[in-house]
Amino acid sequence: MSATGRAYVVGTFDTKGEELGYVAGLLRDAGHAVTTVDVGTSDPDARAADVGRGEVAGDDAFTGDRGRSVAAMSAALEHWLPARQDVAGVLALGGAGGTAIVTPALQRLPVGVPKFVVSTVASGNVAPYVGSVDMTLMYSVTDVAGLNRISRRVLANAAYALGGAIGAPEPPASDKPALGLTMFGVTTPCVTAVTEAVSDRFDCLVFHATGTGGRAMEKLVDDRLVEAVVDVSTTEIADLVVGGVMAATEDRLGAIARTGVPWVGSVGALDMVNFGAPDTVPEQFRGRTLYEHNAQVTLMRTTPDECRTAAGFLADRLNACPGPVRLVLPLGGVSALDAPGMPFADAEADAALFDTLRERFHPTDDHRLVESPHHVNDPEFAAALVAALDEIAGGRP
């Protein structure tokens, strides 16, 4: 830990004061500088922590209505915590309300800053709480409602985990620029070939295009931790426009537009939408072309109209990017399932995808559409992506 770095212990001291004081004490006893932060919403005059709730939120979080107060405190902490210059790591405790208050602020902290939350909701769907950052949620087992033989052990584990993370030596950094790549199972040969071709010049960060993967990559772009992108697998857009379970948000490619990071990309796996096990496929899609990828993932072939919608989304987002862009189209097929004799081979749907991109993408001196006759997983297509990367990112020695 740096000389100025501190462990922040955050929670609602009006309801969790004993537990928060316990973990803060363990961290102090281990030699860590600690700042406690109260984000309770019931009493603006109480000051049970180093930083009182009024210092975080002023009077905005004390409306008398619990739901509005929780939302206001969460928004205030989301601005207050990332502005601190001495955050070495954060440990938060909470039930459903406390977890909702603290986690948006933790999502705003840079990747690499340790973030631990002991929560009663950690055994359920935690995606809204974790977002796309390296946050650790620990299930509290018992409620966070007093100290007992179970809670002391769980809370101590969390405190010592944060202390260990804060005290760990900094891993050696690569002197190569970071390159973000998106991969899906059906585009793996392409991404593997690109990575092997450029790994001597780039530190390759591969993201699984499952909705969260794309958001994680773009957070690093927003944080200026990625210097170029090879976005092979834009499949999350198909899930977004059709209603699959691995969807991007409307902000897909927003980080590229905000930062101007050089972007090379394609339409990998835009031939498919993801659902869970076969019995989870929505009724309106039961008559469609489906493929059971495994027991937990069912893929659905996109129609020509869906391909047009996805292509329009992609083209519009790329047109808004100020930096260099190379959109490379694999005319021989966009995934391992989209090839002659394979279940998703559909010339009409592929034509709708490619034709819409030709119509909607606006070429400029630095925005170019490149057409390759090859399949996305052919070595020649990977070589075309590498050539485009070398052109706009200088081949980065």
Residue 139: what pLDDT? 94
More confident: 2 or 6: 6
All structural domains of the chain with their residue ranges: 6-167, 178-393
- Determine whether 48 is exposed, middle or buried from the number of CB atoms within 10 Å of its CB (0-12, 13-18, 19+): middle
Average pLDDT over residues 96-101: 91
Distance CA 174, CA 11 (A): 36
pLDDT reading at 396 higher than 50 = no
The pLDDT tens digits of the residues spanning 151-198 come to 999 999 999 999 999 988 887 777 899 999 999 999 999 999 999 999
Rounded CA-CA distance 183/265 in Å is 11
Strands (E), 39-82: none
Q: Which amino acid is at 355?
A: D
Do 93 and 157 form a contact (C-beta atoms < 8 A)? no
Q: List C-alpha distances in Å: 345 to 12, 22, 301, 348.
A: 55, 60, 9, 9
- Find the range with the poorest average confidence among 237-241, 367-371, 393-397: 393-397
| pLDDT for residue 46 | 56
Q: With the C-alpha atoms ordered 70, 76, 78, 81, is the resulting torsion angle positive or negative?
A: negative
pLDDT at 133 over 50: yes
Q: Is the fold of 6-167 the same as that of 178-393?
A: yes
Q: Work out the average pLDDT over 336-342.
A: 96
- pLDDT of 103 above 80: yes
Asked whether the predicted pLDDT for residue 393 surpasses 60, the reply is: yes
* pLDDT-derived band at 44, boundaries 50, 70, 90: low
Task: Please determine, for residue 42, whether its predicted confidence score (pLDDT) is greater than 80.
Answer: no
Classify domain 178-393 at the CATH topology level.
Rossmann fold (3.40.50)
pLDDT band per the 50, 70, 90 thresholds, residue 395: very low
Candidates 3.40.50.12020, 3.40.50.2300, 3.30.420.40, 3.20.20.330; CATH matching 6-167: 3.40.50.12020
Torsion sign, CA atoms 112, 118, 119, 120? positive
pLDDT tens digits, residue range 261-280?
Answer: 999 999 999 999 999 999 99
